[in-house]
Amino acid sequence: MAAFARALPYLLSWTVLAGLMIVGMNRLPFALYTPVDGEWAKWNVEAILKFGKPFDVSPYSMLAGMGSMYFPNLPWLNPGALALGLPLDNQTKNIVSYAVYAGELALSIILLARSIGFSWLMATASAQLYLYLLFPPFATVFQIYNWYGLAPYFAHLTAALNAATAVFLACGRARDLPRNIVLCGAFLALSGLLSAPFTFVFSTPAYIAISAATSFIGAPNGLRSGTWSEFASSTVTLFVSADALWDSIATMAYNIASGRPAFQIEPRGHLYRPPGRDTKGPFDRFANYIWSSQVSEPDKATFNEAAFDSVLEIIEIARANGLELIFLLGPSHAYADYYYDSIGAWAVIEEWLTRLSGRATVYSFSQPNDWVDEPISPHMMYWHDTFHYSLAMGRGMLASLAGLPASGLPDNFMERLTPERVASHIERRRAAARRWAEANPSLVAQFEEARRKWLAAERTPH
């Protein structure tokens, strides 16, 4: 009965934390596998589980031909990642996955805290405080950088290295050689096999340095019970930073005093650009950028047969696995098309589109219309610069692909390309680019002057 009474506060505190965490995960689904980075991390795991073989150290990516391989963190010994293979609905899988990660963190923090001398109370409070502040959904609520939402495999890596550090600290306490060898082997197994093999390389040195400092500079105190004052002192030292405090004050002062919006990543993952930003400047600088050392051979356009063969290979791999690849030809502003026209690139573009549309589904958003050929001005709606279109353009593309109603879209905003339609598509873009050039003589003059200087520099012996 006495043992149960001592354990009851721990059970209640963990129950409250788990309940708040599950409710919060349901209320804030975007805190789990957050848009863009987090979604990519989830896709990476699910794709390896789908296409890889168990314990394969180098799963083949069907996007490898385009230089996009799987991230070299593997799910085989990561229970939080393996949870994504359960036959559950998407949100339930996410919650189960993050619950496993939270369990790993909690157990490893308690183990490490006990190994360096914390009492059960301090070890438990440390683990709970860590989860309440840094783990989803609490990190989102407190507006703390949601590292585990973006890269959840770091929860497993942290847990593995916490456990490995506890083993490392125990090595010096064993007097006999065989036990030390076993403990060192356990350290390597925990930190190498069970952790992410890529990020492990960068994280382990820091843990080794901390372990060495703890072992030789501040040795454990015989596991004596700590005091509340020691716990409070350690917590303040760990979480309070003068630099962070000053940055927080500066941020609050900026928001209160000016209220001007700034560049930031929105919760849904896209880059937010403050309204009123000049969009004409990037177009004015385009000529000097394209005709500079930043671009390799800007005067040439050649058909890369090896690259096209890689695309065909991706198509065949997808079909073999019951997938249909749909290729999108993104919007291309008339200024960019003028550049393609000036270097004679249309034949190469036509060959790519003709051959590709004969092997796969291709939708184009690059045909001339009011959105794609928006006049250049300081305040453009659909373009940020010559190559990057705006969120409004992107939302129109998503609505078109999903077949959702969207007001204001040009009639020809999305078109299906087939081999028979490519030639007319290219001709329309070429004619629109030349009409744009006639209407924008100053930009054309800038472009041609930049090209003249580049050609002169190329002819000068180095």
260 within some domain = no
Confirm if 330 and 336 have CB atoms less than 8 A apart.
no
In a domain, 259, yes or no: no
The answer to whether residues 239 and 293 belong to one domain is no
pTM of the model: 0.51
pLDDT of residue 221: 47
* Neighbouring-strand partners of residue 362: 327, 417
Report how far residue 397's alpha carbon sits from residue 403's, in angstroms, rounded to the nearest whole number: 10
Give residue 223's pLDDT: 44
Say whether both 313 and 358 belong to one domain: yes
Nearest 5°: the CA angle 371, 372, 373 is 95
Q: Let me know whether 293 and 238 are in one domain.
A: no
Tell me, letter by letter, the H, E, C secondary structure of 273-318: CCCCCCCHHHHHHHHHHHCCCCCCCCCCCCCCHHHHHHHHHHHHHH
- What is the pLDDT at residue 116? 82
In angstroms, how far is CA 191 from the centroid of its own chain? 24
Instruction: Give, as one character, the DSSP assignment of residue 64.
Output: G
Same domain, 225 and 298: no
Same domain, 112 and 185: yes
Residue 155's contacts (CB-CB under 8 Å, 6 or more residues apart) are 80, 101, 102, 104, 105, 135, 148
- The pLDDT assigned to 96 comes to 94
Same domain membership, residue 223 and residue 314: no
What 53-57 contacts at long range (C-beta under 8 Å, 24+ apart), as own/partner pairs, is 57/197
- Is 40 part of a structural domain of the chain? yes
d(CA 379, CA 217) in angstroms, rounded, equals 61
Residue 294: per-residue pLDDT: 83
Both 229 and 361 in one domain: the answer is: no
How far apart (Å, rounded) are the C-alpha atoms in residues 202 and 317? 34
**Residue 206 neighbours by CB under 8 Å, 6+ apart:** none
Phi, psi of 364 (to 5 degrees): -115, 140
Residue 152, pLDDT score: 86
Residues 237 and 89 in one domain: yes
Asked whether residue 326 falls in the same domain as residue 208, the answer is no
CA distance 80 to 17: 19
Residue 295 within any structural domain of the chain: yes
Strand partners, 272: 264
pLDDT in tens, the chain (462 residues): 677 778 888 899 999 999 999 999 988 888 898 887 888 888 888 888 887 777 776 676 665 555 446 666 778 788 898 899 898 988 899 999 999 999 999 999 999 898 888 888 889 999 999 999 889 988 888 778 788 888 888 888 888 888 877 877 777 666 666 776 777 677 666 656 555 666 776 676 766 666 665 555 444 444 444 455 655 565 555 555 566 667 677 777 776 776 666 666 666 666 677 777 788 999 999 999 999 988 888 999 999 999 999 999 999 988 988 888 999 999 999 999 999 999 999 999 999 999 999 999 999 999 999 999 999 999 899 999 999 898 899 999 999 999 998 889 999 999 999 999 999 999 999 999 999 999 999 999 999 999 999 999 888 775
User: Quick check: 156 and 103 in contact, CB under 8 A?
Assistant: no
**Helix or strand (DSSP H, E) at 338:** helix 334-342
Residue 255 falls within a domain, yes or no? no
Does 182 map to a domain? yes
Q: Which domain range does residue 414 map to?
A: 276-459
Q: Would you state the pLDDT for residue 458? A: 84
Q: List all residues 6 or more positions away from 121 whose beta carbon is below 8 Å from its beta carbon.
A: 225, 226, 231
Q: What's the domain count of the chain?
A: 2
Q: Is residue 268 part of a domain?
A: no
